[in-house]
């Protein structure tokens, strides 16, 4: 579904990604893991059109995403839940969800999409009239993900969905991500919580200082001594 080839991205003269190549098969969960500053968020922003690469290729079902505006990429089927959630805090839960269906195709199916979102996130239905800014951190993350599903994406990008959440809410969040996967959503997941990410990932890539250092199945990387050593204290074994 998604193929990134030899991608290089820079901020001015500072190179953030060096020849990064990843692939995401339809119907899978793929995790991008690594330490702070490894380039994970930069990679996601390049895929969704928020950053322009210096070189390389990004293909979605064979179609190039380069030189396309973020809204055009969204219309092609990519929904990006950024780190920090990006909610409209003064708008209600329902209004935020409705904005997720801004594309014409999604707008025509808004009622069905809203019912599916409420079925997966029943707490949001209870709080439909509340302002997004009044929700707890976990509820805000649920809203951000639910809003993204309103566009019925072919690929859902989740950037650090567990950041700032309590351990109990983190567990709940990953169960919801697994449920989305069971419903057929293809997911590209960026996470510092490496243990949780690798547990649910069909395939994973370890990003280190802008380069892919390792890749394999989630189970392979959890068991790899190098991963265990590099992320001791981050990886719960």
For the chain, give every domain's residue range.
1-77+154-232, 85-152
Give tens-digit pLDDT for 98-153: 998 887 777 788 899 999 999 999 999 999 999 999 999 999 999 999 999 999 99
**Tokens matching residue 11:** 């901020």
The pLDDT score that the predictor gives to residue 235 is 41
* 98, 101, 104, 106: CA torsion to nearest 10: -120
Spatial separation of the C-alpha atoms in residues 216 and 132, rounded to whole Å: 38
Task: Write out pLDDT tens, residues 143-189.
Answer: 999 999 999 999 999 999 988 888 888 998 999 999 999 999 999 99
The partner residues of 81 in beta bridges, in order of sequence, read 158
Percentage of the chain lying above the pLDDT 70 cut:
97
**Distances in Å between the alpha carbon of 9 and those of 49, 79, 108, 206?**
12, 21, 36, 17
Angstrom distance (rounded) from CA 40 to CA 147? 22
Identify the band that residue 232 occupies on the pLDDT scale cut at 50, 70 and 90. very low
Name the residue among 211, 205, 172 with its Cα closest to residue 189: 205
Tell me the whole-structure pTM to 2 decimals: 0.89
Q: Tokens representing 113?
A: 């999409």
Pick the CATH number of 1-77+154-232 from 3.30.470.20, 1.20.1070.10, 3.40.50.300, 3.10.450.50: 3.40.50.300
Chain centroid, CA 163 distance in Å = 12
């Amino acid at each position: 579904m998604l193929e990134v080839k030899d991608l290089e991205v820079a901020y001015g003269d500072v190179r953030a990604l060096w020849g990064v190549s990843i692939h995401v098969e339809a119907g899978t969960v793929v995790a991008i893991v690594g330490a702070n500053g490894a380039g994970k968020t930069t990679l996601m922003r390049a895929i969704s059109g928020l950053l322009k690469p210096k070189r390389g290729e990004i293909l979605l079902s064979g179609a190039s995403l380069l030189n396309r505006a973020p809204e055009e990429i969204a219309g092609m089927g990519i929904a990006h839940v950024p780190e920090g959630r990006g909610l409209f805090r003064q708008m209600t839960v329902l209004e935020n969800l409705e904005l997720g269906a801004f594309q014409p195709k999604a707008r025509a199916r808004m009622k069905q999409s809203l019912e599916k979102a409420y079925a997966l996130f029943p707490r949001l239905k209870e709080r439909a009239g509340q302002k997004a800014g009044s929700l707890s951190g976990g509820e805000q993350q649920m809203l951000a993900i639910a809003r993204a599903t309103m566009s019925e994406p072919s690929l859902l990008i989740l950037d650090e969905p567990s950041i700032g959440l309590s351990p109990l809410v983190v567990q709940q969040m990953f169960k919801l991500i697994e449920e989305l996967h069971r419903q057929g959503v293809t997911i590209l997941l960026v996470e510092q919580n490496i243990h949780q990410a690798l547990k649910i990932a069909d395939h994973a890539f370890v990003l280190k200082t802008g380069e892919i250092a390792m890749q394999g199945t989630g189970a392979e990387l959890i068991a790899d001594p190098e991963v265990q050593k590099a992320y001791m204290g981050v990886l719960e074994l």
